[in-house]
Structure 1
Amino acid sequence: MVSLQHSGRTPWLRVRLVPQSWAILLCTILLLLRPSPTKAIKFSLQSYRYPPQKCIWNPAHSDALVIVTANVGPGAGQRVDVEIVDSSPQKNKYLSKKGINGETRLAITTHTDGEVGVCFRNYLDSCKVSSVPPSEQTKITSRIIDLDVDIGADAVDYNAIANQESLSGLEVEMRKLEGVVKEIVDEMGYLEEREQRFSNTNISTNQRVQNFAWFTIFALAALGVWQIFHLRAFFKRKYLID
């Protein structure tokens, strides 16, 4: 709100922010300063008869929404398969899809903390490629993939939520801020859990080192006592001492 006040000769402007303006300003600053977990990458995927797997990994927390958008370029005689896995000891496989073309949108919810991998394989159909002139074969043995990975709050479609619940602009920003705060809290909890696990590992390692040190001291002391009695008995047998 802008108010105009007169003080004697010269008028001056005084800008007064209402509480809603402060809330919008705070939301904007937090949204601009937070690191975005959105990952976008564009790469060329070479095709083979028995292709290796190419994976793109992104960190994610447990129960996080992950939206994968893959735009696969054209390529005759090639078939691109995709699957989404994680780096947990269980090696969870969330989904697998064969023969994707054009824009493909996939959504999963993670089970554990760790990294989520989007893995591609580009299979080469030798029968179709053999019908292409040799000068053109090098151009069709790869496909361009444009990959976007949205994790957590960035994966939520707030426009759809706003239309469904008839939310105002401020309410939408507050929803976004709520999602950001939740991610920060989850991140802090995950870091605290890791710190506790590392602390327990350090305490356990320190205790083992102390136990080994005491064992070494007692072993050396026992060995020294045994050597003294052994040498005394030996010298007595040789009549070197009484």
Structure 2
Amino acid sequence: MGASAKLRTGVLLPLFILCSTSNLLHSGQAIWLTLPATRMKCVTEEIHNNVIVLADYIVISDDHSHPTPTISTKVTSPYGNTLHRTGNSTHGKFAFTTDEAGNYLACFWVDGHNQGGGDISINLEWKTGIAAKDWESVASKEQIEGVELELRKLEGVVQSIHENLLYLKNREAELRTMSAKTNSRVAWLSVMSLGVCIGVSVVQLLHLKRFFRKKKLI
């Protein structure tokens, strides 16, 4: 490989890493929900603890009715704690830092004036972890920019991936322990069921033997 080729590789690799980091950082999920007039619709995401969550939502009427239908919103933690609740709104936002690991649930339903009575759409922008961090404030506070800022973002991405891997590892260990306990309980239940069946068979055999002797059939 020539010197020019090595130089191109040395330049393109950092650029590729920085571009990939930029795409990862801006991977906040934008979700469109079609909400029936008489039903609730929810979205859920499994998140580990100590993660920042930011969300912004707005109602868009499919039939362009006026006034715009209003909705109620409720966000709950894995243990059922209410983290956000609003009503009679056409748009809103919420933010929190998770202190429980598990599935976080955001539910929406129509509660206000809906002249057409038809479906309405909700645009929900949901950001977690590194995607929810305010990098402009970080850059302004620490007076960093350019490559240094991108490297700081990359460091945040690596840390986020590491935390996710640890969370998945712990979840795997919990599931493995639960599976082992379940298998043990099923094995004991099988042994007990077999013992009960054998006991019932012996009792039936003794009863039939006594019955046949009483009837002088044996």
TM-score by length of 2: 0.71
Query: What do residues 136-187 of structure 1 show as CA deviations (whole Å, max 9, x unaligned)?
Result: x53x865543221111110112122112211122222222222222222222
Aligned to 2:150: 173
Corresponding letter in the other structure for 1:56: V
Question: Does 2:42 match 1:83?
Answer: no
Aligned to 1:163: 140
Aligned to 1:133: none
Distance (whole Å) between structure 2 residues aligned to residue 35 and residue 238 of structure 1: 89
Q: 1:112 to 1:84 in 2, by over 3 A?
A: farther
Choose 186-195 or 61-70, whichever is displaced more.
186-195
Distance (whole Å) between structure 1 residues aligned to residue 119 and residue 186 of structure 2: 55
SS of equivalent to 1:112: coil
Corresponding letter in the other structure for 2:28: T
* Residue 228 of structure 1, CA deviation: 7.2
What are the within-5 Å matches in structure 2 for residues 21-60 of structure 1? 25-29=16-20, 32=23, 38-47=28-37, 51-60=38-47
Kept in 2, the 8 Å contact 1:82–1:118? The answer is no
Aligned to 1:107: 95
Aligned to 1:151: 128
Corresponding letter in the other structure for 1:150: K
Kept in 1, the 8 Å contact 2:44–2:104? The answer is yes
Question: Does 2:67 match 1:67?
Answer: no
Q: 1:153 to 1:84 in 2, by over 3 A?
A: farther
Corresponding letter in the other structure for 1:109: T
- What is the CA RMSD across the aligned residues, in angstroms? 4.0
Aligned to 1:95: 84
Identity, in percent, stands at: 23
Distance (whole Å) between structure 2 residues aligned to residue 239 and residue 52 of structure 1: 71
* Residue 218 of structure 1, CA deviation: 5.0
Distance (whole Å) between structure 2 residues aligned to residue 142 and residue 217 of structure 1: 56
SS of equivalent to 1:16: helix
Distance (whole Å) between structure 1 residues aligned to residue 214 and residue 34 of structure 2: 85
Distance (whole Å) between structure 2 residues aligned to residue 177 and residue 222 of structure 1: 67
Q: Between Structure 1 and Structure 2, whose CA radius of gyration is higher?
A: 1
User: Greater share of helix residues, 1 or 2?
Assistant: 2
Distance (whole Å) between structure 1 residues aligned to residue 141 and residue 104 of structure 2: 30
Give the aligned length.
213
